Structure 1
Amino acid sequence: MPVLKPLSGDGEAPQQRKQPSRKGKKAWRKNVDVTDVQDGLDELNKQIITGSSR
């Protein structure tokens, strides 16, 4: 039986990319920060419900 030599390198998996791809619609929705848009829409809905003018 031959002696097995260890592979070169530290044996760990390569590091993943820091920023995921934003090509598809699902990935775009998951990776984009929309808190400012949500806050604006919430404020607009409150104004519509209370009946206050701009």
Structure 2
Amino acid sequence: MTAGLRGWKYAAFIGGIVGFIGAATYPIIIYPMMNIDHYNMKVWSDPFDRKKS
């Protein structure tokens, strides 16, 4: 027999997984997008260099 997670233990386990993914993606994805000047990233440049009329 396997002892499954029930109730608050299941919620804590799922919350831990979601929290770990959030903590891992923040410094990799979210922080550089919010601090563009610090990383010298371009927000958007038109690859075809179309002029706006």
**Common fold, TM-score beyond 0.5?**
no
TM-score (norm 1): 0.32
Higher helix share: 2
* Relative contact order, higher structure (CA 8 A, sep 6+): 1
Bigger radius of gyration, 1 or 2?
1
